[in-house]
Structure 1
Amino acid sequence: MALKRLVRPSFVVIIVLLMAVQGESQRCALSSIDVSQTNTGKKVGTLDTVFQVMVTNRCQCAVRAIFLRADGFASSVAIDPELFRRAGAVGYLIGDGRRIPSGESIAFQYAWDHYFQMTPASVQADC
């Protein structure tokens, strides 16, 4: 009987710890990466508009290896590859894959005759 009482609290502690770890990873889902674009009002040549992209980590933990999906992406101006570059089949790597603390952002600009929809494809949390 005494043995059962000792086992139950340990089991409860393990379950609570597992729930805490699971909750931590849920806070760093793709939805915790905010991608916003702004038309800067600037033009390159006569046709291409300059867009500012801001990728912000809304997760409570630092994140790294953020990849964005941006189908058909093109730019008439060079983009610093440490900020945004094509990387394999997943999409485009942000910030050279480096760690981005909670609340911090990576920004870059591109120019084209229209904006491209960009959505998070994958992210790794450093909790």
Structure 2
Amino acid sequence: MASSLKLLFALLLLLCSIHGGRGQPCSTSDISVEQSKTGATVEGQAEYEVTVSNTCDCPQSKVMLLCYGLRSVVAVDPRAIKPVDATLCAVAEGRPLFKGTPIKFKYAWKTPQDFPVVSTKIRC
């Protein structure tokens, strides 16, 4: 029985070390937002593709980006990103983002927009 407890304790220590010993294994900095020009133009404006990824092993939901209304001359897929007010946008309708499963969307505007991560809900 004592050896079973020692083994369980060792496994718990191993799990803690895998997550770097932090209380929270993920943060907003684990959400990556990358964008690039597609090379296409829409109504005379450059088209951009944005990829939002979670680089942490734990899912993160309710990902909110600063977007200032998400300006675009074409409709943007609301299942990928949707303004919730004049400054914030929700990614994937608030559903969890899993590592290795990025969310992508395209928009067309005269200049690229910044999409800094404001908040997430870590689900670990």
TM class by shorter-chain length? Answer: 0.7 to 0.9
Shift of 1:24: 4.7
Matching residue of 1:75: 72
Q: Please state if 1:118 is matched with 2:115.
A: yes
Q: What is the alpha-carbon distance in structure 2 between the residues aligned to residue 108 and residue 121 of structure 1? A: 18
Shift of 1:90: 6.2
SS in 2 for 1:31: helix
SS in 2 for 1:23: coil
Higher helix share: 1
Q: What is the alpha-carbon distance in structure 1 between the residues aligned to residue 108 and residue 76 of structure 2? A: 10
SS in 2 for 1:56: strand
TM-score (norm 2): 0.78
Q: What is the alpha-carbon distance in structure 1 between the residues aligned to residue 85 and residue 122 of structure 2? A: 20
Q: What is the alpha-carbon distance in structure 1 between the residues aligned to residue 26 and residue 118 of structure 2? A: 13
Tell me how many residue pairs correspond in the alignment.
Answer: 109
TM-score (norm 1): 0.76
Q: Residues 71 and 117 of structure 1 are in contact (CA less than 8 Å); yes or no, is this contact kept in structure 2?
A: no
Q: Residues 90 and 121 of structure 1 are in contact (CA less than 8 Å); yes or no, is this contact kept in structure 2?
A: no
Matching residue of 1:31: 29
Larger Rg: 1
The unaligned stretches of length 5 or more in structure 2 are 1-8
Which residues in structure 2 correspond to 1:1-127 (within 5 Å)? 20=16, 23-25=22-24, 27-46=25-44, 48-71=45-68, 73-88=70-85, 91-127=88-124
